[in-house]
């Protein structure tokens, strides 16, 4: 058997194409137990992320401020 064991890390990464509010570039998000940070792969803008659960899925939005 060469199945990989399940990933048990507490962090989960997500890439949102066109997710950067600043330049429209791809946004790479890292989600931890009580925080989330997004880094734009194009302009390198670092922003805290807010994740909310909605009826049609999960909504990810950039928070202004921290650079
Ligand atoms: Zn950007």
DSSP string, 4-28: PPPP--S-EEEEETT--TTT---EE
Residue 63 pLDDT greater than 90, yes or no: no
pTM of structure = 0.65
Centre of ligand 1 to C-alpha 38, Å, is 10
Centre of ligand 1 to C-alpha 34, Å, is 24
- pLDDT category at 8 given cuts 50, 70, 90 is low
Least confident of 6-10, 19-23, 53-57, 60-64: 6-10
* Beta-carbon contacts of residue 57 (< 8 Å; ≥ 6 apart): none
Centre of ligand 1 to C-alpha 8, Å, is 30
Residue 13 pLDDT greater than 80, yes or no: yes
Alpha-carbon distance 57 to 60, whole Å?
10
The DSSP output letter for 44 is: -
Alpha-carbon distance 39 to 45, whole Å?
6
| Environment of ion ligand 1 (residues, CB < 5 A) | 20, 22-23, 25, 40, 42-43, 45
């Amino acid at each position: 058997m060469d199945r990989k064991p399940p990933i048990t890390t507490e962090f989960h990464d997500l890439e949102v194409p066109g997710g950067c509010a600043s330049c429209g570039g791809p946004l790479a998000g890292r989600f931890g137990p009580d925080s989330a940070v997004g880094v734009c792969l194009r302009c390198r803008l670092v922003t805290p992320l807010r994740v909310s659960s909605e009826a049609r899925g999960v909504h990810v939005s950039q928070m202004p401020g921290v650079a």
